[in-house]
Amino acid sequence: MRPHAISVLLLAGAAFLCRPILAEPHSPRPKIGIVLKGGGALGFAHVGVLKVLERNRVPIHFVVGTSMGAIVGAAYASGATLEKMHHTLSTTDWNALFGEKIYRENIDYRLKAGRGREIYGDAKFSFEEGKFVLPMGVVEGQNIRLLFQDLFGNPPTPVDFDSLPVPYRAVAADVETGEAYVPDKGDLATMVRASMSIPGAFSPVEIDGRLFVDGGITDNLPIDVAIKMGCDVIIVVDLQSELAKRKDLESPLAISGQMISLLLMQNSTLSRKLVRQQDIVIEPNVTGYGVSDFPKAIELMSIGEKTAEAAVGSFKHLSIPAGDYNHYLSARTGRTQPQQQIQFIRLKNRSHVTDSRIKELMRVKAGDLFDPDKIEEDVQRIYQSGHFTTVQYAVVKEGGDSGIEIDAAGKEWLEQYVRLGMAFEDNLERDDNFRLGAAFRTYGVTSLDSYFETQFELGKIPKFSAELYQPLTQDSPYFVAPMISITRSSLNVSDGDSIVAEYERTEGLAKAAIGRRISTMGEFTLDYTRGFGELERDIGDPSLQDFSSAVDDLGAPSDFQELSNLVSIPWSFGSNTIIIRNVFATTFGDRPIERLYSLGGFLNVSGTLQNSLPASNFDSGGVIYFRRFSDVQNPFFDLAFFAGGSFEMTTIHNDDPRFEDYTLINSGSVFVGADTPLLPVYLGFGISDIDEKSIYITFGRLSQSAR
């Protein structure tokens, strides 16, 4: 689900930077400032307070805020109407906003898990210099910045905060020194994002080489900042709440919020000592609500409104005549801007992805009219490719021209990473199959777009492989991908319906591939492969005729050509997904036994064990059905449960008569599973009409190709 759509127009130059609303130099009226306390979702109460101040015609000349107070304050100071603020904050899907989900169909093909029958999941564990490295926060802020740009109106950056319709300050904290950071100019959305970066939940924000987190750590009720701005009277909105109970501490945000609350209580108490005799304190009681109660925005706004209504007597004397207030309101919210032309597009690329790859994903061009919706689509399309921590845009001025800057920040902590996978199969008789694997990838081996990946598997089918992916040129969709691999697996030899021998097959391959990236769904490759194979009898009587001598020639070298293809077509409707797929492979000439394809396993002739069916040629097709029946609503990770089934039809032909042919195998499965943050988990039962049945427990992505 997309976060709240942006629907604002370009604000350029002086059209946006209207004259700030200050008291006239010789006016007897006081300069009124408002201080909005931090508190996560509790800060929605500030909107209710501002509504009452507006109804009572109390002009605000300065706005100061921390964390959520900084968000509400920036929206007010930049000219958003209270109706706009109420609607945007109450209708936003906060789970989607914080979730920052990347949809699998949008990820670059080479980033997808499940290719080549691998079992590894999408979860990536990064390490550097032998130590695991984690992101500095669960939420990077990809979607929330777009919300800010909707609320704040895209002022050209950098902007003088004193030149906003109402002069404004936000407080962030330097994570290295612990000092408060209160700039008077900069990128408005970036500064607000820094002010609300709850440590652990939100990644810190870098500004001019320094890292900043939630300003509540140092100054959650910034009365001192308002005094320094020259406020004659300060309206202090001090949210009153209690610490969360044990039963409510069930998410990363809730835990982080509790830690922050402990610090905030201490520095807010000190700040209250700065309240002067002429200042006014409004205390919305939000006890019973938590810092993560974002879906309860309307309730919290109502509490702020009711509290301010009860306190009208304390600030009624600050009311001004209706005509004067209408003039004030018009100046604060009445900016109008014609739609502007994008005169240039500047790319700030901080990733291993080349500029041209990023520009391929953009539809907006220089010369187009500014359309926030179209720019947001481009930003999200780049982000959804899977390479970036955040992709943001800003309106910029350069030599009198107006343009946009795209800032694409790569996942530096994922320049090298590990993926894990595990699978277990049991045919309810004497055979089982266990696989445990890990894949390591590192980028930038020879150029910005290249990578080197090694894969290890342990269990009944141990495997090692190493591949170098290298584009022909830095910006080319064409690539080469040399790979080496060595695999050890079992190969059964049948006599009628009986297995008379089992061989341990060792296969080593060296492959040179050249290909072209087609889309996020696939690529086209031509491979040239050389290798060796060895067969060692594991089970079977050496005296059996034809088999003792067969060992010497089973691995005889042979040149051959092959053609294979995999087609998978998904169709989703509601909570249902149907996948129609077909995979085939054929060999021209005699395929050496040590190089036979191996079929079998979950959703790949279900009911049989992994790699239990050798084939020189095969054709397999079927339908897989998934139904997603439950989701855990959490803004920080996806957890969904599903059930489904499959029906498969497979034809197998072998050049060597010692391996069985199958004119048609009908097979199917039923399964339940969960899509967890680390790995998908499947529990399934499969059965086939060749009298095979198996239970499957799989952790990791499922592929439908043959090894």
- Residue 20 falls within a domain, yes or no? no
Asked whether residue 639 is domain-assigned, the answer is: yes
Domain closes at, from 412, 444, 460: 412
Omega of the bond leading into 557 within 30 degrees of 0 (cis): no
- Domain co-membership, 360 together with 430: no
**Which residues form the domain of 373?**
341-412
CA distances for 517 relative to 108, 360, 477, 532, 603, angstroms: 9, 13, 5, 30, 27
pLDDT of residue 13: 39
- What CATH number is given to the structural domain containing 398? 3.10.20.310
Please indicate, yes or no, if residue 78 is contained in any of the structural domains.
yes
Question: Is there a domain that residue 107 lies in?
Answer: no
Alpha-carbon distance of 659 to 414, in angstroms, equals: 45
Whether residue 148 is found in the same domain as residue 284: yes
Strand partners, 527: 513
pLDDT at 657: 80
User: Same domain, yes or no, for 449 and 546?
Assistant: yes
The CATH number assigned to the domain holding 430 equals 2.40.160.50
Same domain, 609 and 553: yes
Written as one string, the DSSP assignment of 271-337 is: HHTT--TT-EEE--B-TT--TT-GGGHHHHHHHHHHHHHHTHHHHGGG---HHHHHHHHHHHH----
* Distance, CA of 79 to CA of 81 (rounded, Å): 6
| Alpha carbons 167 and 152: distance in angstroms, whole number | 13
Residues 467-510 pLDDT 10s: 999 988 877 889 999 999 998 877 766 555 556 667 777 888 89
Inside any domain, residue 84 = yes
Higher pLDDT, 675 or 380: 380
Q: Taking CA 151 as the corner, what is the angle to CA 147 and CA 155, rounded to the nearest 5 degrees?
A: 105
Task: Assess whether pLDDT exceeds 90 at residue 281.
Answer: yes
Q: Are 585 and 564 in contact (CB under 8 A)?
A: yes
Alpha helices in 605-663 (DSSP H): none
User: Are 423 and 355 in the same domain?
Assistant: no
Q: What is the DSSP letter of 157?
A: B
| Contacts of the segment 612-615: beta carbons below 8 A, 24+ positions apart | 612/431, 612/490, 612/492, 613/652, 613/662, 614/491, 614/492, 614/654, 614/659, 615/585, 615/652, 615/653, 615/654, 615/659, 615/706
Q: Which of 367, 386, 412 is the last residue of a domain?
A: 412
Confidence of residue 23 (pLDDT cuts 50, 70, 90): very low
Cα end-to-end distance, the chain, whole Å: 36
Q: Are residue 278 and residue 152 in the same domain, yes or no?
A: yes
- Taking a C-beta distance cutoff of 8 angstroms, is the pair 234, 280 a contact? yes
Mean pLDDT, residues 80-106: 84
The arithmetic mean of pLDDT across residues 201-225, rounded, is: 90
Q: Is residue 120 part of a domain?
A: no
Nearest to 301 by CA among 51, 72, 93, 47: 47
Residue 84 belongs to domain with CATH number: 3.40.1090.10
Tens of pLDDT, residue by residue over 555-580, are 344 566 777 777 777 787 888 889 89
Going by pLDDT thresholds of 50, 70 and 90, the confidence category of residue 430 is low
Residue 691, C-beta contacts closer than 8 angstroms, at least 6 positions apart: none
Residue 631 lies in a domain: yes
Paired with 598 in beta bridges are 614
Which residues partner with 137 through β-bridges? Answer: 200
CB 577 within 8 A of CB 103: no
Q: Are residues 531 and 421 in the same domain?
A: yes
Q: Each residue of 466-484: b (16+ CB within 10 Å) or e?
A: ebbbbbeeeeeeebebebe
Q: Is 44 inside any structural domain?
A: yes
Q: Which helix (H) or strand (E) holds 577?
A: strand 576-588
**Three-class secondary structure of residue 633 per DSSP:** coil
Asked which of 333, 364, 384 is the last residue of a domain, the reply is 333
Are both 177 and 291 inside the same structural domain? yes
In this structure, of 43-52, 145-154, 259-268, the range with the lowest mean pLDDT score is 259-268
Query: What is the number of domains present in the chain?
Result: 3
- The pLDDT tens digits for 102-153 are 776 777 777 765 444 456 666 677 777 666 666 666 778 788 888 898 889 8
| 602 and 542, same domain (yes or no) | yes
pLDDT at residue 534 tops 60: yes
pTM value?
0.71
In this predicted structure, the answer to whether residue 166 has a pLDDT above a threshold of 90 is: yes
293 contact partners, CB below 8 Å, separation of at least 6: 40, 41, 42, 300
Q: State pLDDT tens for residues 370-404.
A: 888 899 999 999 998 888 888 999 888 888 888 99
Residues 547 and 433 both lie in one domain: yes
Report d(CA 382, CA 107) in Å as an integer: 10
Assess whether 514 and 525 both reside in one domain. yes
Same domain, 564 and 650: yes
